Amino acid sequence: MASLAAAGFHRVITSHSFLRRLHALQPPSLLGFHSFSALFHPGESPHPSAPAARAVAEAADFEFSFLPTRGFWKVRDARGGRFALDCYEGTYPTFTTIAVCDPLFRRYELLPPLQEDLTAAVEQPLQVNGERRCDVFLAPCSEEEAERAPGAFSVILMAQCPTKLVAFIFSSASGLGFPFRSKLIVLDMGRMEFYPVNHPSNHKLEQFAIVELGESRRGMFMIGNGGNPRHEDCCIVRLFSASNQINGEGATEWVLENTVLLSRSSSFSMLGVADGKLLLQGAREHNSEEVFGCISLDFKTRQIQRVRGIIHNGRCPMVAQYIGYPPSLSLPTI
């Protein structure tokens, strides 16, 4: 309403400085998911972000047609309104061409190729999800780099070898970082540092997600079966917590904080974490068709909220979360 009252008000509330202050007070919402098969799945009613999700779906180019034509581009991750994609050009190199994109403003940046002396640390990399030989993640830059270069971002390339895990960090503010080797590692996004951790003992590490719990503690969501005869057919989600302080090399004491028992007749796939809530896709047999949808699970209140319908029948595909603002409140991220 203020923007309609006077042109001066419109200039103020659409300026970058005003929107940055607004975004600092109002965190962005989950708007939907982008599957690695190049489809965008916006949030749906009654989820509160549904109107903004529809607006973004109409305004943005989620097919990334603005990228240079050099092969098949595939979404690998999303964060802060940006997407990381890599390009398959008919060969099978360990490290593909990487682009960081803003689909709303149709901007992109290509990462420089890794130097040979760095890639020499990767020996016999295993395939990721049966396709690529490296994982690609978006991450924030360190606080120092963010102050020096507003809008800076980091990209992590990770290759799993038979005896080690190797990660390379690229910062748009300072260039390529260094490799890191371990079996299970956690990234401290405040300091942009990796450190090794152990996973909760007596629990098989399959589907899991890491979340910040505040007060120098981190959490780990894990999905598993009931663990006793009464709950053997149930799906149980467990939340473990541990201190961010490392006692000895890789030593981590995980404490079981909470468990939530999910439906016996449904199977669940983990989609990630947003706003401290666990995102899941559930599917169950009903008239020979799998139906259910994507939900968010609040561990504090045990409240389940529907986000949207089912993304994919059968086992849920790999997806990237799109978290941001509607077009009228968005800033370019590239």
pLDDT digits (tens, 9 = 90+) for 95-110: 788 999 999 999 999 9
pLDDT of amino acid 101 = 94
Q: Are 327 and 78 in contact (CB under 8 A)?
A: no
Give the residue-averaged pLDDT of 307-333. Answer: 80
State yes or no: pLDDT of 180 exceeds 70: no
12-21, 118-127, 158-167, 195-204: least confidently modelled range: 12-21
pTM tops 0.95, yes or no: no
Q: Are 103 and 84 in contact (CB under 8 A)?
A: no
State yes or no: pLDDT of 227 exceeds 70: no
Cis peptide before 46 (omega within 30 of 0): yes
Q: For residues 316 and 138, which has the higher predicted lDDT (pLDDT)?
A: 138
Structure tokens at 317: 């595909």
- DSSP letter, residue 197: -
Give the residue-averaged pLDDT of 268-291. Answer: 74
pLDDT of amino acid 248 = 45
pLDDT of amino acid 181 = 54
State yes or no: pLDDT of 61 exceeds 50: yes
CA 300, 304, 308, 314 dihedral sign is positive
CA atoms within 13 A on the CB side of 51: 2
Give the residue-averaged pLDDT of 288-299. Answer: 73
Distances (CA, A) of 137 to 69, 100, 217, 260: 23, 10, 22, 29
Q: How far apart are CA 140 and CA 33, in angstroms?
A: 20
**Segment of 75-89, 121-135, 196-210 carrying the highest mean pLDDT:** 75-89
Give the residue-averaged pLDDT of 130-137. Answer: 78
How large a percentage of the chain has pLDDT more than 70?
A: 70
Strands 39-42 and 185-188: unpaired
Residue 172: band (very low, low, confident or very high) from pLDDT cuts 50, 70, 90 = confident
Give the residue-averaged pLDDT of 2-30. Answer: 67
Closest Cα to residue 196, out of 250, 251, 254, 252? 250
pLDDT of amino acid 130 = 60
20-29, 72-81, 265-274: least confidently modelled range: 20-29
Q: Please name the residues in contact with 108: beta carbons below 8 A apart, sequence gap of 6 or more.
A: 64, 66, 67, 99, 100, 101, 102, 334
